Structure 1
């Protein structure tokens, strides 16, 4: 179930696959696929884009995202190295950025809902 509440259109700073988490590029007004749990996560794209194409980024609401591992409904989600959603599990004292909360359980390759709730967590 998707319910995008706020979308912002950006240009893709590199190729972006569908259903991926994105972050700001080093250049203003460009986004790229997220590549780490420590990236400043911005939102989710449901449609892919080639470098230079325009892409809508969902920053608030409920979006569809591809899972990069086993995810349990209710888990806090962050990005893997390919912009896919994985359960956030920072080591003690380590900070992770999160994109939101898993709306459904799934495994790597599944497309599931994420309740967008960007923020940071620290391992205990």
Structure 2
């Protein structure tokens, strides 16, 4: 499967295999830290990035993501406070931004294959 990757300017420290959100300006990204962030994709930047570095982001397609909690196969994932994957489980009537869908079940500390398909769900 092909993936869509775009290069952005990092406006915060961003580790490898973490979710990022839209930055304040066009062409900028920052670490996604909540389900309310405008999640764009997952970093593909071994060694990570610091402020001012260029960082590759998988916007669509399959890639690896660091996991921060238990997530079932096929479930939507969102970002925890460190940009890792966390099960998206918004309360009734509440919206959550998601980074995509799990292609395998995973638990905290895993590196899992995911399908990056940013979207929004409602509980």
Q: TM-score range by the shorter chain?
A: over 0.9
CA contact (8 A) 1:20 1:83 kept: yes
Residue 27 of structure 2: aligned partner:
29
TM-score, normalised on structure 2? 0.93
TM-score, normalised on structure 1? 0.93
Residue 8 of structure 2: aligned partner:
10
Residue 108 of structure 2: aligned partner:
108
- Structure 1 residues 38-91: Cα deviation after superposition (integer angstroms, max 9, x where no partner): 111100002211111111010011011001101111111111111111110000
CA contact (8 A) 1:4 1:63 kept: no
Q: Distance in 1 between matches of 2:2 and 2:106?
A: 21
1:4/1:34 CA distance change after superposition, 3 Å: farther
CA contact (8 A) 1:46 1:65 kept: no
CA contact (8 A) 1:103 1:113 kept: yes
Aligned length: 121
Structure 1 unaligned residues grouped into runs of 5+: none
1:4, distance to aligned residue in structure 2 (A) = 5.0
